[in-house]
Chains A and B, each alone.
Chain A
Amino acid sequence: MSEGEEQKVRLRRMLAEGRGELEWIALISEKGDIIAKAGRNEIEEDVISGLHGIFTIGILPDNIMRVDVLLENGRHIIMTKGKHGFLVCKTRPNPNLGRIYLILRRMRYEGDPFELG
C-alpha cells in the first residue's frame, strides 16, 4: 500500500470514528496542496486555501496548534497544524466538538507522520 493510500485509509477510519460528526477530512501539505482526502461531501478547496492563509499571514503566534472556525450554519471548520502539514475537517451543524478534538488528537498517538498537535 502506498503512503497516499495509507493516509486515505487513516482518514476514512477517523471519519468512521467521528460517527457522522465529520463531513470531510483532508491532509494538506505545508504549501497548501491536498495530499489525501476522505468524506461524504466535496471538499471546498477555497476554504482550505483560506484557512491555510490564516496560518501563513504572519499576524498570529507561530505556535498555533489549532484553528476552529464556526460558520453561520453551525458547522465548524477545524484546522490542526502538524510539523510537516495540516489536517483540515468540516463538521456537521452543531457537532460534538469534544469527540472531534479527541479524534484529531488520537492521530498523534498512532504514529502520525504529520506529528499533529
Chain B
Amino acid sequence: MKVILLSSDSLMSALLELLMSITLKDIFFLGLYTLITFLLVRALHKRLASDIKEANRALGKFIMEYASSIKLLAQMVVGGYAQMYAQPQRVREEEVPFMRATTLKDLLVAYDLKSITIADKSGLLVESTIGDRKRSEEEAALAKEILDGIQRTLVSAKHLDIKVPGGGLMLGMVDRANACYIVRYANDEPESRRSHEAVFRAIDDYIIRKYGK
C-alpha cells in the first residue's frame, strides 16, 4: 500500500512537471491538429453517407423493377387460368337470343335507341325512324360515307361503333341485302358485348328478313 502511494506521488509530480512545461505554442498546435482531424472525419463521413444512399437507391430501383416484372408474369399466368375457367360462362352469354323485330320502331323501343336509318349500298334512303325526310336522307348518305371510309383500309370491317360524349353512332353493313344502316343512341352505351352485339344482330336480322335476297 505504501509502495503504491509512493508511486502515485511520483506519477503526480511527473504530470505536474509535464503540465508546467506545456507552452501556448503546444496548445495551439494541439488545437489545430484536433480541428483538422475533426474536419477530415466529417468529410469522410459525408462522402460515405452519400455513397451508401446512392447505392440504396439503385438497389431499391432494381428491386422495384424486378417485383413489377414478377407481378406481370403472375398476372399473365393467373389471367390465363381465369380465362380458361371463364370460357363456359362466355358460351352461355352468346346463346342469349336476340330480338326478332317486325318494325324498326320495335327495335328502337327494345334497345332504347334514338334513331335507325337504313340505306342501300349507294347511300340512298331505304327506311328510317327519323320523321324528317331530308334529315333521313342525310343520315343515309353519312352511313355510306363512313362505312366506305373504313372499308378502304379494313375490308373485313362490317360493324362500327363510334362513341361521343353522352351517346354515339353504330354503323353496319349487310352484304346479303346490299344495305347499310346507321343507329344513334343517346344514353350511355350498352358496354357489355352481349347487348352491344345484340343490337347489331337484331338490326342485321331485320334487314336480311325484310330486304335480303
Binding site for B on A (CB under 8 A): 9, 12-13, 16-20, 46-47, 49-51, 53-54, 57, 59-61, 63-73, 77, 94-98, 101, 117
Contacts and interface: CB of A to CB of B under 8 A. Distances in A.
A77 B154 contact: yes
Contacts of A71: 154, 156-158
Given A13-B72, A68-B162, 20 more contacts: A9-B68, A12-B72, A17-B75, A19-B79, A19-B83, A20-B79, A53-B152, A53-B153, A54-B149, A57-B149, A59-B149, A65-B163, A68-B160, A68-B163, A70-B200, A71-B157, A77-B157, A98-B191, A98-B193, A117-B165
Interface residues of B, number: 35
B72 A16 contact: yes
Contact of B161 (A57, A67, A117): A67
A98 B197 CA distance: 12
A19 B150 contact: no
15 contacts: A19-B79, A19-B80, A20-B79, A46-B153, A47-B153, A47-B154, A50-B153, A53-B152, A60-B146, A60-B162, A69-B161, A72-B156, A77-B154, A97-B191, A97-B192
User: Per DSSP, are chain A's interface residues mostly helix, strand or loop, or mixed?
Assistant: mixed
Most B CB contacts (10 A, CB to CB) among A70, A94, A98 go to: A70
A57 B146 CA distance: 9
Interface in B139-184: 142, 145-146, 149-150, 152-154, 156-165
Nearest to B80: A20
Interface in B182-213: 191-193, 196-197, 200
Nearest to B76: A16
Contacts of B150: 50-51, 54, 69
B75 A19 contact: yes
Enumerate the 4 nearest inter-chain pairs by beta-carbon distance, A residue then B residue, closest first.
Answer: A50-B153, A19-B79, A70-B159, A66-B163
Contacts of B163: 64-68
B45 interface: no
B92 to A, nearest CB: 13
B44 interface: no
